[in-house]
Structure 1
Amino acid sequence: MKKIVAITFLFTNILFSQWENQYYSSALYSITLVGKSEAWIAGEDFSIIKLSDNDYLEIKYSGDVSKDFQSIAFFNEKAGFAIGTKGSIYLTENSGEYWKLHSSITDSFLKSGFVVNDSTGWIVGFGGTVFKTQNQGVDWVAISTGYNLNFHSVYFINDSTGWIAGENGIILKTSDGGQIWYPQNGNTNYDLQSIYFVDSMLGWCVGTYGTILITENGGEEWIARESHSEGSLNSVFFIDERQGVAVGSFGTIIRTSDGGNNWTPKESGITINLYSIAMYSRDTAYCVGGNAAVLKTIDGGENWVNINPRINNIHLFDAFFIDSNTGWAVGQNGTILNTTNGGRQWFPQISNTDKDLTSVYFIKSNGWAVGGGEIILKTSDGGKTWSYQNGTSNFYSSSVFFINKNVGWITSDISKVKKTLDGGKTWSEKFIEPYNVFTADFTSIFFLNENNGWVLGSNQFNQGTVYKTNDGGTNWTLVYKSTEYTLNEIFFTNNQKGWMIGNIPYDDAIVLTTDNGGAGWTTAAYLKNYSISSICFIDSLEGYLCGANGKILKSIDGGYNWAELESGTNQWLSSINFIDRNNGWVVGDHTVILKTTNGGTTLAAEENFTRESLDFSLFQNYPNPFNSSTIIKYKLPVESNVKLNIYNLLGQKVSTLTDENKSAGTHEIEFDCSDLPSGVYFFRIEAGNFADAKKLILIK
């Protein structure tokens, strides 16, 4: 294969991440209430989630996927801590906006945390681990109970009096703030998972094999009660001395209204394990569990609704947003997800198909989704209901694009383009290429208005083609053909400026750009060891790519130079979509949904990304076009080693104008091209970490 020479510079540094994973689907182990309308949740993959007004769920921290948070507790609305595996203790001092790792004090499995007041807190864990803090977690003091069993739960009713429950039915009590602990007889050898008291006398314990214990004398005597459950009960909570709820394995929820003497099973609607329960009032409660389940009741536990339903391990192929709040994502097996709050919550919509959906497009509440079997789905109510418009073939529809609620196009295999003028009620179709072994399967279509559009695709021999229409798709003209790489997606910001991406066999990618509406294309960037699936530009300078291994790239010079952004995932990313300069989403494999609200980089990274670009300058040559010579000017803020080269349209270097150290200031250099033929060339500068390129036109 002929090697393509790059006229690009890929920044070697990786910019700090500002992408939030919006579709968390791992287990949630702990929920705690803070204030009147806020709760905090902790779980697998070192994740911390905030639950706020209107049941908004927001991931506030996500760290090492090899570790889990087991418990979370708050001293007040600002200060709190989360604990978990490998002795992990994380603290927050600013209402959960930032979490910092506490210095290591143990490598034990930490299971339960509890806050007594604004300064005092407790941690218990495996191997008899007990810690106490009296300064909001800044310092933790090891406490000895005399027992080396695994402790699962801790509860205090005041500074002095508290209990610990754990394996083999162990229950310990202290009446002096933890200096002395003495055992209580729970009359069971089953592991106890959770303990709760409403005052110094009345308390409950729950555990494995449906164990429920009740005490009315501070634990001097514990009496077993029937739970009607054979699985593990993992958490218990009482809002007063009579009304309580316990949750456990296989979606078990049991409720009592007589102080725990009698328990009634309630339907949870799920079969996954539930791990923690918290009650706001006699009516409102939340419980959390596996698969990121967050169940809510507003009638005292009679009925429960999962406010965070998850669809796991689905490859999402495309996403589309109509504003900063409302968007859709589509994927395997007919999956359609919808958000109306900027991605804080995603809910499945019923597609009535199990075919893969590869592309989605919306005009206000009117939307279309296409995919396998050339299926076409249509909604007129924002996705509340989806209906079939087509879909009976063995071919694949890969891209849908509408310019208003009536006029739209769809691309399919074997170079097929479909068009509708009535919102999808009827479709006409056109085969652009003759059917043979070289026929391209179209994968992307883009229109600026009812007349001007482009379509591209590739064949089985990794050859890509691009066609353009000026009459809405009645006639198509071949404007580009590659013989060495596939073409995946095309994007335009106006009727002249556009880009497309392709992949070269063996994991290299190429970005091509046009300044004349697609009549001519030049190589903007050659990205070695990247496989790119999607491209999106905000304007003629700022754009994004995403692809394999969780890669997200950003350009601020029209696609010639790209910097890698830290995405926080290594999954395949299929589609990237921005609605403005700040707000964007990426979707991909394993139901990954990422969001940024500041263009994908932190403020520090953004400064690092643009500072040198703002201080260094490469000016357009003059005159341009020119005959035999032209002047190229550039500006340096500091002394730098400068490389200034000339390239032809094939990316081949045809001249080196300078390659030496230059002082700070403005410099000019004359380019004599009397020995070059007429044509379009590029001049490119590298100075420190700055790189830029511009086009010049030689006419003889």
Structure 2
Amino acid sequence: MRRALIWAAALVSLAAMPIFAADSAKDLEWMQKVPHNFLTPDYFSVQPKPLAALPDTINVRINSDNSGQIQNEQQLCINPTNANNVVAVWRDFRYGYRRVGVGYSFDGGLSWTDNIFPVTGRPWHSDPGLAYDINGNFYAVVLAYEPDQSLSGFEVFKSANGGVSWGIPTLALDGVPNVFEDKELIACDHVSGSPYLGNLYIAWTRFWNTDIHIIRSTNGNQTWSAPLMISDVGSVQWPVPVVGANGVVYVAWVSYNNQIKLDRSTNGGVTWGTDITVTNVYTASTYINGSIWVFSFPAMDADISGGPYNGNLYVAYMDRTSTDFDIYFRKSTNQGVTWGSRVRINDDALNNGRDQFHPWLTVDENGVITAMFYDRRLDPGNLRYDIYLTTSADGGATWSANQRITTVSSDPTSLPLAGLIGEYSGLSTRNGIANLAWTDFRLGDQDTYGSRVEIYTTTDLSINMIPNNPPINVPRGGTFTYTGILTNNTNLSKVTDVWIMLNVPGYGMFGPVMQLNNISIGPNQTLSTGVSQSVPGYAPVGNYTYIAYCGDYPSVKTDSSWFNFTVIGPLQNDDNNWSLSSWFGNANANLSTTLSLSANYPNPFNAETTINYLLPTDSHTKLEIYNVLGEKVATLVDEQQTAGEKSITWDATNYSSGVYFYKLMVGETSTTKRMMLLK
């Protein structure tokens, strides 16, 4: 099997393009771009692999200056409309004082162009945060302040072209004299169906009472609200804002009584509740070997995938065992009200005297959780660190073997500002790819480095549906709505069919109720549309499954997505049929029942997955599992079965991580699909 993502680094100096719309002559010091060519042009269509066998990673220096100064405190986002477009921001001292650097990439993070955000008001910038909206606009917030800290506030830059240029920043917060605003981060509501879609939120700590405050923008960074204090008590620091399912806004922070706290708003940030305790920690902040100042801040994200863990809230944080700091994880399944038991996610030996610290965490569009963290397991002296990564495909119940991302360990005692390496890092995931950014010392000073890692393999095309206001209970003759999403996961244009099937109670598979042929979709493009589905007045009551396919109708199913709904109420005398609006063209409805093998769910999975299939007639049926070598590893079904929808669960507890294929054979007809087991 060929090795995926084999990249060769070619240090070729090219003139960089400007990344700001306008700036002064002092600040327009255009940097050089260092591209890194790779050998696999279709790098989204690579061979699948388990997390336990990630390819060798390449580490790319993102900042291009040779000042010998420091770059740290990174944030990074992947463009939701173009997975090749990655933007990063960081604290940058290349001019000898505090500024904020920004870089963009259009090849998935293999090469970067970078510069410094211009000064339009107060001369010092620091503590950057980064967010994006569903249209692919990026928003970068910076702390702008006077060198004597007498005045401070926040400026928000916006880019509508993937980070290539940024307009004049909006003064989101002007600040108060002799009050210092600190540690701001920004979040955007990109939750499908949220009543507050597009809202921006900035949370920060106001010194010197160290309270948590928040502001919001409801018009895309044009104006911002007045500050609102949301922490019930002071002596707190390090707020992290996240928007979860249904547009609920969460902010978590660490208090100096050694607890992680959380508050939430269910009305778009207008009002907030009472602080909730997430967990106790050993300490809010301390120094570890090498004089590194570390914090037990909450790295937090929410599942808004529409999958089985939709609505879950996740927190990763550092905490001390008897001899060293480890990374722990907790989750909430009820909007942060209560939290489950902690799970240690770094997998080196317990109490080995090697520290892990400063995690970051994100959840992708498929509900897969990815965490990165600084890690000293390779240094017996507990000084040099690396970056490690781990992933969970089952809502945080189990985690993959930790993978080293850095190719060179860092000595944090290197000057200048030895030990002060910043407090957070950058991580974003999409289409099975993780992009990371961190503080790296391999050149003798602090630089911002990045890496691109394939964490699981996606299909060339993927289809998804996100129902509005689930669970759906629709009366006969009524309608329900959802968002239909079609994504091209490759760098090549694709053409596909899309069709909708129903599993009707007491009847079986019915449809297609919609069929669209030859939909064109560009490289790395995502098509998204609102859909309204009518339910006939004569529809049987009961539980239905609504299934969308993309591929070559009717036999080739590249990907599928489904959700359940329930039809209720008395018969209605109407002329409606199973008609629907929108998707990407006019629907052609007809009725058919054919052999059908659905995508297993969940996928990726650990360690059980369910396979559904439809038999149009009574048939002798075989369902077998094969590994990537073509060896049969399990037989799930080998018997005469009656016609109808079938479902079987494969327990893969005793199988190793990797790609498997399940093959359905009925008579002389067979169909095969691929699935990924992650442990």
More helix by share: 1
Give the TM-score normalised by structure 1: 0.39
